[in-house]
Amino acid sequence: MHISLLACSGPGAAEAIAVSGQIALLSWALVFLVFLSALLVPALRRRFGWGGVAVLFACTLLHPALIFGTLRGDCGYTARLGSLIFLPLHFGLCVFIVWRRRVQAAAAAPSGA
């Protein structure tokens, strides 16, 4: 008798794989949309800077939806969980980049004393 803990088969497997794929793809699309917005909208590009836009591009390439497949035996739960964890981390990174740029701009500005 052979039992595999990671096997994805049986009734409902195709639906679980499809849902995992949709969640991962939607998460990647949101990250890609943030990158495109930062690249193409001048006001956002000034807030993020070119370094920030490059970091957002790297996030787009390193997204779990592109790294983990949904057909590897676990019904795509790794890609699903990774994508759901990646979204708040990506949001936090965006906030950090904007905050850091503001702090650097404030430090570079002459004090009006």
pLDDT digits (tens, 9 = 90+) for 16-50: 888 988 999 999 999 999 999 999 998 888 888 99
Amino acid found at 12 = G
Average the pLDDT over 62-80 and give the result. 85
| Cα distances (Å, whole numbers) of residue 63 to 49, 91, 110 | 21, 13, 40
- DSSP 3-state of 26: helix
- pTM attached to this predicted model: 0.80
pLDDT(67) > 60: yes
Q: So what's the pLDDT on residue 3?
A: 42
